[in-house]
A and B are shown apart, each in its own frame.
Chain A
Amino acid sequence: MNNSRALSFGTGLFMLLGFAALLFLTTQTTSHGISLMRKPHYDLLAKFDNIGDLKVGSPVSIAGVEIGRVTKIGFDTHDYKAVVTLSIDAKYNQLPTDSDASIYTQGLLGGKFIGLTAGGAETYLKDHDQIDFTQSAFVLENLIGQFLANMGKSSGDKPDAAAPAEKTK
């Protein structure tokens, strides 16, 4: 009897561990998750024209130091802008009200993150305040489009100047 209890205990432990692993896979590795462990924090809002591929969970940094994360991304139907909620660690509660937020890229093809630059105001941003000065994500396609358009324009303007340049290549 005792032996069989020990056996059942071992089996039960194994099965619980297995189901815990399954639970972890379904909730923590997928987007259907529940997030655990929240530090004290406060929320800021920022509106962007274009956020590129900024994702929930992307870091927020100031002077290169990570101070928070993106917790929510929404869309404002009135002015057609993306509304990003930034969750900032509560110990960094002295960000001037005229700080600005820009979206940068980590590496050439890496993920996006939000970089804050401190302003000079005497008052500080509080919970649910909005950052007014924002700069959108740099979208590679737009840049290439602009570059190509400029190329077309300059070769159209000076056809004879472009031709010798072609030959020297």
Chain B
Amino acid sequence: MLRELRESLVDSIVSVGAIGRFLVRVAVQVPRAALRLDLVIAQIYNAGARSLVIIMLSGLFVGMVVGLQGFQLLQRFGSEDALGAAAAIGLVKELGPVITALLFAGRAGTALASELGLMRATDQLSAMEIMAVDPVRRVVVPRFLGGVIAMPLLAAIFSVIGIYGAQVIGVQIMGVDAGSFWSQMRASVGLGDVTEGIVKSCAFGVACSLVAVYEGYNAVPTAEGVGRATTRTVVTSAVFTLFLDYLITASFL
């Protein structure tokens, strides 16, 4: 029992170290991969443009829920005018980046991991190595970069749609004054809050993309192995995202 616990602890430390080493390996190749812009563009399309519908839908509903809940709560104190400020700060700083990252891990991360895992299982990666093409440079880095670029943009879109959703509920249905909604929002949201959201979404983009390509690239080359790599991508990405979220929030205070 105790030995199992120790082994799993050692395993998790080893995997963190392996992810770190993989990050270095990917980062070294980034400048060269940037020359093959067409590959990166295709991956931005895969990771970003194709996640757009789910991100926008989720953003709308999250914003509407924030609008409803915030209105119910603020109404008790007779200060429902602060709804705009509450919704905007909540969405821009927390909900936007975090929920986008979780959805991104589920929608784009799993696709990346299973694609790379299947390439590994069907020996496509080994074939590239035989042809003296570095699979990290040709396959992994464009996917990583695509995710890193797409994630902050997705988070920003999520926040904007969410604010729109909160506005629909608050102003158009619950009858909060539109001017107070926007003016209180402008008065209380600083540029620092937006920056915090952008920093978070960039960090989550790096973390989620890295975990996805790492798990896919190092998947056990069997059907079961690819499945496990996909599952682990979601779990590890979610844990990393929430952990980083705490760290970044604390450092911005």
Contact = CB atoms under 8 A, between A and B. Distances in A.
A4 interface: yes
Interface stretch (B76-84, B101-109, B222-230): B76-84
Given A7-B45, A10-B49, A21-B159, A15 B81 contact: no
A101 B191 CA distance: 33
A68 B163 CA distance: 24
Nearest to A59: B179
Interface stretch (B3-11, B17-25, B149-157): B149-157
Contacts of B198: 22
Contacts of A10: 45, 49
Nearest to A31: B186
A55 interface: yes
Given A14-B52, A25-B159, A29-B88, 17 more contacts: A14-B45, A14-B49, A14-B153, A17-B52, A18-B153, A21-B153, A22-B153, A24-B160, A29-B92, A29-B194, A30-B186, A30-B194, A57-B186, A107-B78, A108-B78, A111-B180, A111-B184
Contact of A58 (B42, B180, B189, B193): B180
B66 to A, nearest CB: 14
B152 A25 contact: no
A120 interface: no
A15 B88 CA distance: 22
Nearest to B89: A29
Contacts of A59: 177, 179-180
A29 B88 CA distance: 7
| Shortest 3 CB-CB contacts between residues of A and residues of B | A18-B153, A57-B183, A107-B78
**Interface of B (DSSP majority class):** helix
B78 A110 contact: yes
B157 A30 contact: no
B187 A31 contact: yes
B125 interface: no
Interface residues of A, number: 35
16 contacts: A11-B41, A11-B49, A15-B149, A17-B157, A18-B48, A18-B152, A18-B154, A22-B152, A29-B189, A30-B191, A33-B186, A57-B183, A69-B179, A107-B77, A107-B78, A111-B82
A32 interface: yes
A65 interface: no
Interface in A35-92: 55-59, 66, 69
A109 B189 contact: no
B238 interface: no
A106 B88 CA distance: 21
Interface size, B (range): 35 or more
A106 B163 CA distance: 23
A19 interface: yes
Interface of A: 4, 7-8, 10-11, 13-15, 17-19, 21-22, 24-26, 28-33, 55-59, 66, 69, 106-111
A87 to B, nearest CB: 11
Given A8-B41, A14-B44, A109-B78, A29 B49 contact: no
B197 interface: yes
B191 A32 contact: yes
B183 A55 contact: yes
Contacts of B190: 30-31
A55 B38 CA distance: 49
